[in-house]
Amino acid sequence: MRHNWAFTAVFLLLLAGCQKEEGVTVDNYTIQEELVPYFDRFQEEGAARGVTVDFVAAQLSAVLDDIAEPNVSGQCYYNGGDPNRLVIDRAFWSQASDIKREFVIFHELGHCYLGRSHLDTANPDGTCVSMMHSGLSGCRNAYNSWTRSAYLDELFLEN
Ligand SMILES: [Zn+2]
C-alpha cells in the first residue's frame, strides 16, 4: 500500500484530538498524496485570515485508511509525545464530494493543528455555529460553498 503514496514532510505544534492512538503505526510527518491539496488549502485559508499554518514546525501524519466505526469519516489520533495522526476513512473519501472532503479534513485539522475542541452550539435556525461540531449534538451541519467562508472565519479566528 505505502509504495503508492507520495509523502510530504509536515510538522505540527498544537496537539488535541478525538482519540488515543490505536492500531498500526505509519511513517511520521507524512501526508498521503490524495490529501495534500486539502492541506494546502487549509494553509491558504489560514494565511488569508492572518493565521500562519507552519507545517515545517509541526508534526503530523495523515492517511486514508479503513475506520471500523460506522459513520466516522475522520479521526485525529493523539498519542502523547508522538506526532498526531489524522486518519480519513477510505470508503468515505471515495464517495465524498470536494466540499465534504474539505469539511472533514478541516474539522480534523481544527483538532490536530488548531487545538480546538468540539463546539456544538446551534444558531436560532438550528444550523451549527461552528464546523467544529461533534455531529452528535443535533445542530445541523450547514457547511457548503456559500457558508464556508464564514465557517472558516470562525474556525481560524474564534480559536
Ligand atoms: Zn471532531
Long-range contacts at 115-119 (CB < 8 A, ≥ 24 apart): 115/14, 115/15, 115/16, 115/159, 116/16, 116/155, 116/159, 117/16
Ligand 1 centroid–CA 76 distance in Å is: 8
List pLDDT tens digits, range 59-70.
788 899 999 988
Ligand 1 centroid–CA 114 distance in Å is: 12
Query: How many residues are there in the chain?
Result: 159
Where in the chain are the domains?
A: 2-157
List pLDDT tens digits, range 100-156.
999 999 999 998 889 899 999 999 999 999 999 998 888 999 999 999 999 999 999
pTM for the model stands at 0.79
Q: Which fold has domain 2-157?
A: Collagenase (Catalytic Domain) (3.40.390)
Question: Residue 19: beta bridge partners?
Answer: 77
Ligand 1 centroid–CA 33 distance in Å is: 22
